[in-house]
Amino acid sequence: MGQCPSAPRRRKPPPLPPSPALSAPPQVLSSIAEAAGEDHTADLPEELLALVFGLLGSGDRKRCSLVCRRWLAVEGASRLRLALDARAPLLADSALPRLLARFPAVSKLALKCDRRAESVGDPALAQVADRLGPGLRRLKLRSLRAVTDDGVAALAAAAANLRKLSVGSCAFGAKGIEAVLRSCLHLEELSVKRLRGLAESEPISVSGPRLQSLSLKELYNGQCFSYLITQSPNLKTLKIIRCSGDWDIVLQDVPRDSLLAELHLEKLQVSDRGVAALFGLEVLYLAKAPEVTDVGLAELATKSPRLRKLHVDGWKANRIGDRGLAAVAQKCASLQELVLIGVNLTSSSLELIAANCPTLERLALCGSDTFGDAEISCVAAKCAALRKLCIKACPVSDAGMNKLAEGCPHLVKVKVKKCRRVTSECAERLRASRNGALAVNFDTPGGAGELQDGQSVDESGVLDNAGSDVLPEDLDDRIVLELSSGSSGRPSRWKARMGALMSRSLSVSIFRRQPHGACSTSHES
């Protein structure tokens, strides 16, 4: 009396019977021990063991190399990719030769250094050329500010079979790149980013006979690559991103019979003259080039009837609109993907695109002030081949989005972002209209994109945490996002539900931690 009823004691389980192995005679135990210590991979050929290591990830390969000396040797001899921290103190003296001797078969090498640290110099590249030069196929150099043109030239002379070179934040100049082009005649891909030595370099006077892809990013005096761009006969992909200077002259010099099919232009000084001079493009990414207008886009569409992908970031400049898109619709019947950011278009151009581009499968419209219910209704009624649709920060509402439930029979994925007039009920109706076959990714400001009871929806249309009290793993990120949004409204439903769950968990923990004295006091009273 006066005490809490004690819980019944749990009986200890009966002891397990002794293992047959423990009761076996000593001869059997010794044979078992020998079998357990036997290396069953000793009979495997090294070629087969190397094939097994090739199916593992980098971390697993490192752990396997610590098993025994044989595995260490086989793993090192069969490794094809190697990334090294190229800080000078780490690869000083004999450290780099020992590393290169351990991995003699490496064909893809990356040397990366922190921007604030001292990097290795020409002697390190000379050692790489001596050990790995003939077998190198891919090379990546990052932040090697102590490397000069002479060091790059020495490495290029030894790596004649190089196929891909990526350079970023290095200090050598055009002479080093020219040495690579002269020595590595099989080079197919070249990427140059923030090459500091180009400021006072002379123009490159060598072409790439097999060069297929060229990427230039954040370069000063990037026009020194003009000869390489215009005289490489097999160049198919060209990316010029955030490079200073006038690029109209370079684009105008591209031959009419060039194989150039994919062009990326971003944040460049380029106008209608440069864009209109191009022929035969299949993919065009045009971002933040305010001097390009409807005139240039229309001229390019006339000369590139096989255009398949068009991405335009108009930067809210209103230089590209219905006129240019109408020309694309009339001339480019093979258009499959259209992405428009900051471009104000109306149903007049959309009707032409839907009527003349029967293979249009992917459509994305972001930040368009004129894309409303009439335009989304036009898409739903006339874009029969559409499979993926993305709408972000556009003045559409439930009335227009509901049209998608009846149109676009091949639609499999819809993304709606930051469209304040679209509600979660509309997203539910869209999902229900296709019996769950339509993935709806719905996210609007203020928590309107969440389902009832705080359940969220992933891109496949499956409920996350449905019927579960488990807190999401990204709860802290969500809280930070809500706090940084600056919204003055009430907390959304998921916050209320999270608060209820947290309070309930807190009450349960308090109840469980309640001392026995409290229980005895309640009984005594």
| For range 347-368, the mean pLDDT | 95
pLDDT at 492: 44
| % of the chain surpassing 90 pLDDT | 65
pLDDT at 30: 58
For residue 167, being part of any structural domain is answered with yes
For residue 420, being part of any structural domain is answered with no
| For range 274-286, the mean pLDDT | 97
pLDDT in tens, 57-110: 888 988 999 989 999 999 999 999 999 999 988 877 678 888 899 999 999 999
For residue 142, being part of any structural domain is answered with yes
* Number of domains forming the structure of the chain: 1
For residue 122, being part of any structural domain is answered with yes
For residue 278, being part of any structural domain is answered with no
For residue 87, being part of any structural domain is answered with yes
For residue 117, being part of any structural domain is answered with yes
| For range 126-142, the mean pLDDT | 95
Write out the DSSP string of 191-251: EEES-GGGTTPPPP----TT--EEEEES-SSGGGGHHHHHH-TT--EEEEES--SB-HHHH
pLDDT at 200: 82
pLDDT at 443: 84
What is the band of 484 on the pLDDT scale with cuts at 50, 70, 90?
A: very low
User: What average pLDDT is seen over the chain?
Assistant: 82
pLDDT at 504: 42
For residue 351, being part of any structural domain is answered with no
What is the band of 436 on the pLDDT scale with cuts at 50, 70, 90?
A: confident
Residue 8 scores a pLDDT above 70: no
Rounded Cα gap, residues 80 and 381, in angstroms: 53
Here the CATH number for the domain that contains residue 241 is: 3.80.10.10
What is the band of 457 on the pLDDT scale with cuts at 50, 70, 90?
A: very low
Distances (CA, A) of 105 to 44, 122, 279: 20, 22, 43
Q: Which residues contact 221 (CB under 8 A, 6 or more apart)?
A: 198, 199, 200, 201, 244, 245
pLDDT in tens, 204-231: 999 999 999 999 999 999 999 999 999 9
pLDDT at 517: 41
Give the H/E segment covering residue 48: helix 46-54
Residue 445 scores a pLDDT above 60: no
pLDDT at 506: 39
Q: Which residue has the tokens 């009290």?
A: 469
Helices and strands (H, E) in the chain, number of each type: 20, 17
Domain encompassing residue 91? 81-245
pLDDT at 250: 96
| % of the chain surpassing 70 pLDDT | 77
Residue 40 scores a pLDDT above 80: no
